[in-house]
Amino acid sequence: MKRNLLCATLGATAMAALFSVSAAAQTCASPASWHPDASGTPDLGGSTCANEAGILSVCQNAAGAPQAAFVALLDIAAQPQGSFNTITFTGGAGYTISTYLVPQASGCNNNAACTTVGDGSTPMAHTDIPPGQYYLIITGADFDTAGACGTFNAHADGTLPVTLQSFSVG
């Protein structure tokens, strides 16, 4: 009986450790990867809590990021091959969502110039984003109380490229 209980306890501990590794924080050093397909799937969702805490200011001091931030790496293709027109954001209770897109070459937490910004009422438009790789930083607004964080959802409105099926002159 003791041996079975010990094996069950060790097995549960090993499984818990396995799952805790896969649930690592999304930080500048280890960002999530988001690649929505032509239909906009999948959405990006999660929590800003317990993620990147080293970003103090963004957009060359034009905006603050005093809260914990969720960081994702996003690869933007040129239109018409790009897979979205806009990215919309919704935030959960307890904070005001703010989002920043920074070129990967500029660094995640170096207070570099932002390519574009968004929030719960302002989507990021594909036309504002040149092709390339970017850090998508999702955090609380600089006017929120210190430590404010919560859940979020990012949705790319997918576009299906249209190709000419037939052509005739008549």
From first to last of the 170 residues of the chain, give the pLDDT tens digit.
444 433 443 344 333 333 333 356 899 999 999 988 778 889 999 999 989 988 888 899 888 766 899 999 998 877 655 668 899 999 999 899 999 999 999 999 888 999 999 999 999 998 888 889 999 999 999 888 888 999 999 999 976 554 445 555 65
Cβ count within 10 A of residue 35? 13
71: closest CA among 95, 41, 50? 50
Q: Is residue 8 part of a domain?
A: no
What CATH number did the domain enclosing 69 receive?
A: 2.60.120.380
Helix (H) or strand (E) holding 20: helix 2-22
Q: Is residue 170 part of a domain?
A: no
Domain count, the chain: 1
Q: Is 46 left (phi over 0), alpha (psi -120 to 50) or beta?
A: left
Please, what sign has the CA dihedral across residues 95, 97, 98, 100? positive
Q: Is residue 65 part of a domain?
A: yes
pLDDT in the model for residue 80? 59
pLDDT in the model for residue 62? 85
The boundaries of the domain holding residue 61 are 25-158
**pTM across the whole model:** 0.77
Q: Is residue 9 part of a domain?
A: no
Please, what sign has the CA dihedral across residues 131, 135, 138, 139? negative
Q: Is residue 15 part of a domain?
A: no
